[in-house]
């Protein structure tokens, strides 16, 4: 069941986990799970556009994923390059603005060029911003923000540090979804998720469909976001004495 657009989260972030297990269950190589994961991401982007979500931030490759076997790492790099060249026109047509978040220097020149080109080609799109966290870690993000402040001689406050985070332009996520059954952040948006609603799904990412997305959105809609206040203090509260 779809959810009324006024209650849909503005910014959804997803830890797309479970590709390897999805493949193993089918006696396929792990990379087959990652390929299917790209298909699911494509569908999820479209579903988010249809539901009026403004920003989708996805975790595609973590700072720690370099520890995986070399062939899986290079397979993931190849999948990123292939997916971008294959999907760029469709993303442009759908009004998707692509942004890559993470440490670029460790990526090969070939991958870096693809990211820059995809960002340039989609920079004027406004329907949905898709932040792809690639070689991203929440600790890296906080450290690079602190280093930038130090280099500029700026004082360190919550506001100044927030402004230097790689996701500043798109704001903090309202809802963080993790698929694949694990209940941990794995170094995802550590600072930015301070007041996000968290939703954990047992569905493996390659099986995450529109129904699963709507379950996550419905769970979000049913939460009361208090930001430290009491229920009675919230706008629209009908019971000021609670
Ligand atoms: C998430 O799926 C994708 C990446 C981390 C790149 P996994 O590859 O972690 O899948 P599982 O957790 O092993 O099933
Ligand atoms: C988190 O998944 C990273 C991505 C989805 C890209 P992992 O599978 O790497 O997380 P851990 O290792 O189980 O914590
Ligand atoms: Mg995993």
Asked if residue 136 belongs to a domain, the reply is yes
Q: How far is the CA of 89 from the centre of ligand 2 (A)?
A: 29
CB 32 within 8 A of CB 193: no
Asked if residue 1 belongs to a domain, the reply is no
Confidence of residue 237 (pLDDT cuts 50, 70, 90): confident
State phi, psi for 197 to the nearest 5 degrees.
Answer: -80, 135
Ligand 2: list residues with CB < 6 Å. Answer: 15-17, 59-62, 65, 182, 184, 186
Asked if residue 240 belongs to a domain, the reply is no
The burial class, CB within 10 Å (0-12 / 13-18 / 19+), for 141 is buried
Q: Which two tokens stand for residue 73?
A: 């790492």
Asked if residue 83 belongs to a domain, the reply is yes
Is the CB of 136 within 6 Å of ligand 1?
A: no
Give me the pLDDT at residue 184, please: 98
Asked if residue 63 belongs to a domain, the reply is yes
Instruction: Say how many domains are in the chain.
Output: 1
Residue 65 annotated to the active site: yes
Q: How far is the CA of 17 from the centre of ligand 3 (A)?
A: 5
Domain with 217, as residue range(s), is 7-233
166-198 confidence digits (pLDDT tens): 999 999 999 999 999 999 999 999 999 999 999
State phi, psi for 134 to the nearest 5 degrees.
Answer: -135, 120
Asked if residue 115 belongs to a domain, the reply is yes
Q: How far is CA 32 from CA 36, 85, 121, 206, in A?
A: 6, 19, 28, 10
Asked if residue 241 belongs to a domain, the reply is no
Asked if residue 242 belongs to a domain, the reply is no
- Look up the CATH number of the domain holding residue 189: 3.40.1180.10
Q: How far is the CA of 158 from the centre of ligand 3 (A)?
A: 31
| DSSP secondary structure string for all residues of 29-62 | -HHHHHHHHHHHHHHHHHHHHHHT--EEEEEEEE
Average pLDDT, the chain: 96
107-163 confidence digits (pLDDT tens): 999 999 999 999 999 999 999 999 999 999 999 999 999 999 999 999 999 999 999
- Strand segments, DSSP code E, in the chain are 11-15, 55-62, 96-101, 128-136, 175-178, 197-200
Give me the pLDDT at residue 6, please: 65
Residue with CA at minimum distance from ligand 2 atom 10: 186
């Amino acid at each position: 069941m779809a959810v009324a657009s006024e209650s849909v989260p503005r910014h959804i972030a997803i830890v797309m986990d479970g590709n390897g297990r999805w493949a193993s269950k089918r006696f396929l190589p792990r990379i087959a799970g990652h390929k299917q994961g790209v298909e699911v991401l494509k569908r999820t982007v479209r579903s988010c556009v249809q539901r009026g979500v403004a920003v989708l931030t996805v975790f595609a490759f973590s700072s720690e994923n370099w520890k995986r076997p070399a062939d899986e790492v290079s397979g993931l790099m190849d999948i990123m390059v292939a997916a971008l060249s294959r999907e760029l026109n469709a993303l442009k047509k759908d009004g998707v603005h692509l942004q890559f978040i993470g440490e670029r220097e460790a990526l090969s020149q070939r991958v870096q060029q693809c990211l820059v080109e995809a960002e340039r080609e989609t920079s004027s799109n406004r329907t949905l911003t898709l932040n792809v966290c690639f070689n991203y870690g929440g600790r890296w993000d906080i450290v690079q923000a602190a280093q930038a402040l130090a280099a500029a001689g700026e004082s360190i406050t919550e506001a100044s540090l927030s402004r230097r985070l790689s996701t500043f332009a798109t704001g903090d996520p309202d809802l963080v979804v993790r698929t694949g059954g694990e209940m941990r952040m794995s170094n995802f948006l550590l600072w930015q998720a301070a007041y996000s609603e968290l939703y954990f799904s047992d569905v493996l990412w390659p099986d995450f469909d529109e129904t699963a997305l709507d379950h996550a959105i419905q769970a979000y809609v049913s939460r009361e976001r208090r930001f430290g206040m009491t229920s009675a203090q919230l706008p629209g509260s009908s019971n000021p004495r609670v």
